[in-house]
């Protein structure tokens, strides 16, 4: 709140948290990001504390009539059922397990932010698996309902989709495994799948109360090389072009999409991967700090000019 009060005249849109999934699960369950904890129950505590903290800030802004808009940014991943995608008959257990796994990635964060409750079936499943205490689950649900306040906008970070298949031999929380179809992948190992952005935005429009949406991150990491003082990142240009067109299609289909931001302006420090992955539309020579505008920079510049 100190920051918001200090800069409210200059900054009119604020985000309480960026990527709660990464903070909670990658940092406290999978342990691949700081603080490197590997405890699912701790991760669920983090999820809940983030939600309550988010509500507290949004409430403070509203109650003090501060002239800014405030929201949250979630990294969301549309989940597709592999056998359904291939046209096979899907069993009820297969559909249910994949749906629950999707709820852990998406609805666990979307539902409290936009509906004021956690997905109950997911909580029940976690309690059944002794991954969540029954009383704690009830308290979490009650506290979210009591503290819920609707945000001014929703930020979405989108990069790829997830294809999942029921596997009764899986040792994961859910009896599923991941499928990786043939296609183009970025340096992060993420499939390039623009249609997923349209499917995600359309699903949110149909499943949640209407809210202005911003794509706060979308982009791709590639192994960029400097050639004669230039960076010809044609794959990134094509990636951005396809996602821009999908975003336009979503707007035409009634999605209240207000803005789009490429990740990222410059090559930067990417979580635990450090400087090994380049997302920028401006190349950074990390030894000299020299900046070089990539082809994607000029494409983006031209696209904005022609479509503004």
Catalytic residue from among 19, 94, 107, 191: 19
Please confirm, yes or no, whether 245 is among the known catalytic residues. no
Please confirm, yes or no, whether 19 is among the known catalytic residues. yes
Beta carbons of 142 and 51 less than 8 angstroms apart: no
Closest CA to 96 of 47, 164, 172: 164
- Alpha-carbon distance of 260 to 3, in angstroms, equals 24
Catalytic residue from among 179, 217, 238, 270: 217
- Alpha-carbon distance of 180 to 191, in angstroms, equals 8
Instruction: Round to the nearest angstrom and report the end-to-end CA distance of the chain.
Output: 33
Q: Which long-range contacts (CB under 8 A, 24 or more apart) does 187-192 make?
A: 187/220, 187/221, 187/222, 187/223, 187/277, 187/278, 188/159, 188/220, 188/221, 188/277, 190/159, 190/160, 190/220, 191/160, 191/161, 192/160, 192/220, 192/239, 192/242
- Alpha-carbon distance of 56 to 301, in angstroms, equals 38
Closest CA to 55 of 145, 142, 135, 129: 145
Where in 88-238 does DSSP place strands (E)?
A: 153-157, 162-166, 176-179, 213-217
**Residues acting as catalytic residues:** 19, 217
């Amino acid at each position: 709140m100190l920051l918001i009060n200090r800069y409210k005249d200059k900054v009119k849109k604020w985000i309480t948290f960026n990527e709660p999934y990464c903070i909670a699960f990658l940092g406290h369950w999978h342990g691949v990001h700081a603080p490197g904890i590997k405890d699912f129950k701790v991760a669920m505590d983090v999820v809940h504390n983030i939600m309550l903290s988010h509500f507290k800030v949004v409430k403070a802004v509203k109650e003090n009539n501060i002239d800014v808009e405030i929201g949250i940014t979630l990294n969301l991943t549309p989940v597709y059922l592999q056998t359904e995608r291939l046209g096979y008959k899907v069993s009820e257990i297969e559909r249910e397990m994949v749906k629950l796994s999707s709820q852990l990635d998406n609805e666990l964060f979307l539902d409290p932010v936009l509906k004021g409750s956690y997905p109950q079936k997911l909580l029940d499943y976690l309690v059944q698996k002794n991954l969540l205490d029954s009383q704690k689950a009830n308290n979490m649900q009650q506290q979210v309902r009591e503290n819920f306040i609707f945000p001014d906008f929703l930020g979405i970070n989108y990069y790829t989709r997830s294809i999942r298949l029921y596997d009764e031999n899986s040792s994961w929380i859910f009896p599923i495994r991941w499928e990786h179809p043939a296609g183009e992948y970025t340096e992060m190992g993420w499939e390039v799948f623009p249609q997923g952005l349209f499917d995600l935005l359309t699903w949110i429009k149909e499943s949640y109360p209407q809210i202005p949406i911003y794509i706060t991150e979308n982009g791709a990491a590639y192994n960029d090389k400097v050639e004669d003082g230039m960076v010809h990142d044609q794959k990134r240009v094509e990636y951005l072009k396809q996602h821009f067109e999908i975003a336009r299609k979503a707007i035409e289909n009634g999605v209240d999409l207000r803005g789009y931001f490429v990740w990222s302006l410059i090559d930067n420090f990417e979580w635990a991967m450090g400087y090994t992955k380049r997302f920028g539309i401006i190349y950074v020579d990390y030894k000299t700090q020299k900046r070089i505008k990539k082809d994607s920079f000029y494409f983006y510049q031209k696209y904005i000019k022609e479509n503004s």
